[in-house]
């Protein structure tokens, strides 16, 4: 099996001087191609910090963090930009652009990929929106869509470039339970079709069953790795 994310002895600190605080402690984790990993744990345990480090959204400081065979620890800003282009993000911070239609938002997921021409961008974005069940909503603006529909546009934008890795932070937050379920089922289906790896942070215990593996964090440490999903569902 191919390892796409390999983390060894990763430590992370925020702040400087007397305000310096360690938030990740000696993290070790290997994630294989095509796996769906859910990262759970109490608020403040370091889940989002770990996710953003893997996504190249902040710099890794100590230890080794390899993503698609690139070492991110000590990587330059330019190298991190390259890494970010290879990933799909389903983050609150990567919200949809309110002034763009659903179709235009999805196309943005391809705009950094210069080898794809305009016509192909259009075709792929249309197909992707159809796949997420929004074939009748190409020209809707985010404000005209429900929470679940907006999240489906976000998923379409994240997956339209067929990234090898998708990083998701609370993708079902603010969705009712049926919409949340639909959204993660869709992510699971598309990821399995495309063979992509998903690393997802969630507090939503209703969706843990989509994971191949659940990784639990507490106080900046991985406390359970490779836990059998059923343990969480009892």
Ligand X SMILES: Nc1ncnc2c1ncn2[C@@H]1O[C@H](COP(=O)(O)OP(=O)(O)OP(=O)(O)O)[C@@H](O)[C@H]1O
20 in Cβ contact with 196 (< 8 Å) = no
44 is a site residue for ligand X (CB under 6 A): yes
Q: Which is nearer to ligand X, 105 or 172 (CB)?
A: 172
208 in Cβ contact with 233 (< 8 Å) = yes
CA distance to 132, 141, 158, 162, per residue, from 3 (Å)? 28, 39, 21, 18
Which residues is 60 bridged to in the sheet? 73
Among 6, 23, 25, 229, binds ligand X (CB under 6 A): 23
Q: Which is nearer to ligand X, 6 or 22 (CB)?
A: 22
Q: Which is nearer to ligand X, 52 or 197 (CB)?
A: 52
Residue range at the interface with ligand X (CB under 6 A); choices 43-51, 97-105, 144-152, 185-193: 43-51
Contacts (Cβ under 8 Å, ≥6 apart) of 218 = 41, 42, 45
195 is a site residue for ligand X (CB under 6 A): no
Half-sphere exposure of residue 176: CA atoms within 13 angstroms, side-chain side:
3
Residue range at the interface with ligand X (CB under 6 A); choices 47-55, 87-95, 140-148, 181-189: 47-55
Residues that bind ligand X (CB under 6 A): 14-15, 23, 41, 43-49
């Amino acid at each position: 099996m191919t390892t796409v994310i390999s983390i060894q002895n990763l430590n992370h600190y925020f702040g400087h001087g007397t305000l310096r605080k360690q938030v990740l402690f000696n993290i070790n984790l290997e994630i294989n191609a095509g796996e769906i990993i859910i990262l759970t744990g109490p608020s403040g345990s370091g889940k989002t910090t770990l996710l953003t480090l893997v996504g190249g959204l902040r710099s890794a400081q100590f230890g080794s963090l390899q993503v698609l065979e690139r070492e991110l620890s000590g990587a330059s800003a330019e190298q991190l930009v390259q890494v970010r282009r290879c990933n799909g993000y389903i983050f609150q911070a990567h919200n949809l652009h309110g002034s763009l239609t659903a179709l235009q938002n999805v196309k943005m997921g391809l705009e950094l990929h210069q080898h794809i021409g305009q016509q192909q961008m259009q075709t792929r974005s249309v197909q992707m929106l159809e796949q997420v069940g929004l074939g009748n909503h190409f020209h809707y603006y985010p404000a005209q869509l429900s929470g679940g529909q907006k999240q489906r546009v976000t998923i379409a934008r994240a997956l339209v470039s067929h990234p090898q890795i998708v990083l998701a932070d609370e993708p079902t937050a603010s969705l009712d339970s049926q919409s949340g379920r639909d959204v993660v089922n869709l992510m699971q289906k598309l990821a399995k079709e495309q063979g992509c790896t998903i690393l997802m942070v969630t507090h939503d215990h209703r969706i843990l069953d989509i994971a191949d593996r659940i990784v639990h964090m507490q106080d900046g440490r991985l406390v359970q790795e490779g836990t059998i999903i059923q343990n969480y569902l009892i």
